[in-house]
A and B are shown apart, each in its own frame.
Chain A
Amino acid sequence: MRVLNLAAMHLRSLWNWRTVYLGRLIEPLAYLAFMVVGLNATLARLPYQGQILSYGEYVVPGIMALLGVRAGTAAVSDVSNDRKWGVYAFARLAGLSPSSYFASLVLAALPMAYTQTLGILILTLILLPGVAVSILAVSTLLALPLFLTCWIGVGALMGALIHSYSQRDLILSLVNLPIILTAPIFFSLESTPTFLKLMATVNPLTYQANLLRDLALGTPWHLNGTVTIVLALTLATLSIAALARSEWLTTER
């Protein structure tokens, strides 16, 4: 129950600063409405697991997976602020464990991620009529908590370990774009150079986007599903361990 109270406080914070977060909310919708729709009309079809897909069919699951990465980026500053502004300290003082705190972050991220999912599905129905959204909707509904756990795990790990704004900013700048651009979100891996294939292999986003494609297309999903689950559990465990070892309150200003 107290986890829900903390998650509710995170949501209140999000609501109070809604103008700041508006850009984050509409970013994936803008990707879909402008870039994907434009490329869908321009580009040839893309291959995936022996099937030939329209650009829209290929990319929309990738954009759904991208929602997790954005939640992870936000978690870096959320955790840093919570440790700086006393929220984490009060949670621990009240007896909440690091895992409860972590769960509250994931719970608080879900409403925004599901709102974005709904927006993407509606836009897909309107702008990309060939894309089947019903199975994708169910798949995203089920898989999104795993994606959020994975990327919020990364974000919380950084928030727990790094105590300097400039270091955090530098690492985010260096890591964020490569994660988004080396995963097969906007392109197919089958015709890309070897170095890009190798980078995609070590990128969790690759498995998450492909898991949604597998579920939407009915192709075997066990490999991507297993990797996604293992990564989510591993990163959640690592971040909880880092939070448990960290000071409750930082003096960072």
Chain B
Amino acid sequence: MSPLMVAEGLTKRYTTGVMALQDVSLQLDAGRYLGLVGPNGAGKSTLLNILGGFLQPTSGHVDRRVERVGWCPQQTVIDWSLTVLENVMLPARLFGLSARAARRAAYESLQLLGLETSSKTTAETLSGGQLQRVQIARALCTEPRLVLLDEPTTGLDVEGQDALWEDLNRRRSQGVGGLISSHDLDTLERECDSFLILRGGRMSASFDKSDLDHQAMEVLEVLPMNDEAKAAIARFADESGRAPTSGRAPTRDNSLWLLANELPPDLQGPSFQIQQHAMSLRSAYKAIGIVTRK
């Protein structure tokens, strides 16, 4: 596999003092998609923007080895003075595609995303979901070797999502690779080749799809049976820097997800019910829960 991009030791501290990213390294290979997951504020968009060159890291470096990159940000980045078609064609033209080739690619991308009838209108007339489609079409229109897509399916209907993944799979078979962030863990697990879990700006885990297929990790859910057990879970969560149910509102009464080899003795016994879960991206995401305090 030839690397399309190699990033090493990326750290980003904003001028506000917030440490958005700490020592993140990754490699993006041809014909493979890396799924990026993490809670809101984990640093996913910061990482994608740094990889695209849109943000400068405080330290670390990015080695981009291909020219054409398809970038779809999470936030709306649209030239409001251009039509939809012109917005989609813009990066393609800047990457050197002829006007005819860029127009053809733009129409194909817009058609894929159901926007062909809006091509002549200005972007300001579009809804939020349609703007997101324009951004995806723009990313694909460059005929990229590398894609950096930040939550591309947000705002897309089911047909739009299916069409997008079908197109991305076709491109992957032609050697396109990249990084795709999403909260849709089930789709990412189905479509991506490897995964990176980001929490608190740090790489919490990085594993291959084959690890999921071969159940390389055993995932447990520890449920408290009484108040004493709840307190023990809370104490462990606090000491280990992880939060029950990923630090969000508990869905199963303060249960704690963790890898089997991490289960401490004081969370075992009759006060706890231990449930074993099949390893999936979702269960791994819940179990691999190192929360680094900023």
In the complex, which of the residues A16, A85, A96, A248 contacts B83, with contact meaning CB atoms closer than 8 Å? A16
Q: In the bound complex, how far is the Cα of B81 from the Cα of A2, in angstroms? A: 20
| Minimum CB distance partner of B83 in chain A | A16
Check B69–A16 contact: CB distance below 8 A.
no
Question: Which of A85, A91, A247, A248 has the most C-beta atoms of chain B within 10 angstroms of its own C-beta?
Answer: A85
Q: With A16-B83, A90-B94, A94-B96 in contact, is A249–B69 under 8 Å at CB?
A: no
A89 contacts B by Cβ under 8 Å: yes
| Assembly CA distance A9 to B106 (angstroms) | 15
Cβ-defined contact, A93 with B86, below 8 A:
no
Contact with A along B138-160 (1 / 0, CB 8 A): 00000000000000000000000
A9 near B86 with CB under 8 A, answer yes
- Whether A94 contacts B81 by the Cβ 8 Å rule is no
Instruction: Let me know if B91 and A13 touch, CB within 8 A.
Output: no
Please tell me if the beta carbons of A249 and B79 are within 8 angstroms of each other in the complex: no
Interface membership of chain B positions 77-104, coded 1 if the CB is closer than 8 angstroms to chain A and 0 otherwise: 1111111001000110111100000000
Complex: how many Å from CA A82 to CA B90? 12
Q: A195 in the interface, Cβ–Cβ < 8 Å?
A: no
* A90 with B91, Cβ < 8 A, contacts A249-B49, A249-B54, A249-B55 known: yes
Q: How many angstroms from the CA of A222 to the CA of B93 in the assembled complex?
A: 41
Answer yes or no: B122 CB below 8 A from chain A CBs: yes
Interchain CA distance A82-B79 in the complex, whole Å: 8
A86 touches B94 (CB 8 A): no
- Measured between alpha carbons, how far is A8 from B99 in the docked complex, in Å? 11
For residue B75, which residues in chain A have a CB less than 8 angstroms away from its CB?
Answer: 251
Rounded to whole angstroms, the CA-CA distance of A34 and B175 in the bound complex is 64
Selected contact of A96 from candidates B55, B77, B90, B94, CB within 8 Å = B94
Task: Report A203 CB to chain B, min CB distance, Å.
Answer: 31
Is B227 an interface residue, CB under 8 A from the partner? no
Could you mark each residue 123-159 of chain A with 1 if its beta carbon is under 8 Å from any beta carbon of chain B, else 0? Answer: 0000000000000000000000000000000000000
Interchain CB contact under 8 A, B91 and A9: no
Contacts of A94 in B (CB 8 A): 67, 91, 94-96
Contact: B81 with A13, CB < 8 Å? yes
Shortest B40–chain A CB gap in Å is 17
Could you give, for residues 172-192 of chain B, a 1 whenever the CB lies within 8 Å of some chain A CB and a 0 otherwise? 000000000000000000000
The contact size tier of chain A is 20 to 34
| Complex CA–CA separation, A89 to B83 (angstroms) | 18
Choose among B80, B83, B122 the residue with the greatest number of A CB atoms under 10 Å from its CB.
B80
Q: Does A174 contact B (CB under 8 A)?
A: no
Q: Is the interface of A mostly helix, strand, loop or mixed?
A: helix
Contact: B67 with A81, CB < 8 Å?
no
- Distance to closest chain A CB from B226 (angstroms): 49
Q: Say whether, besides A90-B91, A94-B95, A247-B54, A12 and B78 are in contact (CB < 8 Å).
A: no
Decide yes or no whether B241 CB sits under 8 A from chain A.
no
Give, as a whole number of angstroms, the nearest-CB distance from A154 to chain B: 22
Give the chain A neighbours of B78 by CB distance below 8 A: 85-86
B side interface size, CB within 8 A: 26
In the assembled complex, the Cα of A2 lies from the Cα of B56 at a distance in Å of: 24
B63 to chain A, nearest CB (A): 15
Question: B96, A16: Cβ atoms under 8 Å?
Answer: no
B114 interface residue (CB < 8 Å to A): no
In A83-115, which residues have CB < 8 Å from any B CB? Answer: 85-87, 89-96
- Considering only CB atoms, which chain B residue lies closest to A101 in the complex? B94
Say yes or no for B71: interface residue by CB 8 A criterion. yes
Q: State whether the Cβ of B9 lies closer than 8 Å to any Cβ in chain A.
A: no
A6 at interface, CB cutoff 8 A? yes
Instruction: For the complex formed, measure the closest distance between the CB of A34 and the CB atoms of chain B, giving whole angstroms.
Output: 30
Q: Is B53's CB under 8 angstroms from A93's CB?
A: yes
| Contact partners of B91 in chain A: CB under 8 A | 90, 93-94
The digit string for B18-62, where 1 denotes a CB below 8 A from any CB of A, is 000000000000000000000000000000010011111000000
Q: Smallest CB-CB separation from A12: which chain B residue?
A: B86
Binding site for A on B (CB under 8 A): 49, 52-56, 67, 69, 71, 73, 75, 77-83, 86, 90-91, 93-96, 122
| Top 3 A-B residue pairs of the complex, sorted by shortest distance between their CB atoms | A94-B94, A86-B77, A13-B81
User: What are 24 A-B contacts defined by CB distance under 8 Å?
Assistant: A2-B94, A2-B95, A9-B93, A12-B82, A12-B86, A13-B79, A13-B81, A16-B81, A16-B86, A81-B80, A85-B79, A85-B80, A86-B78, A86-B79, A89-B77, A90-B90, A91-B94, A92-B53, A93-B69, A94-B91, A94-B94, A94-B96, A248-B55, A249-B54
Q: Beyond A5-B93, A93-B52, A94-B94, list 13 extra A-B contacts (CB 8 Å).
A: A9-B93, A12-B82, A13-B82, A16-B81, A81-B80, A81-B81, A89-B52, A89-B53, A90-B90, A90-B91, A90-B94, A93-B91, A94-B91
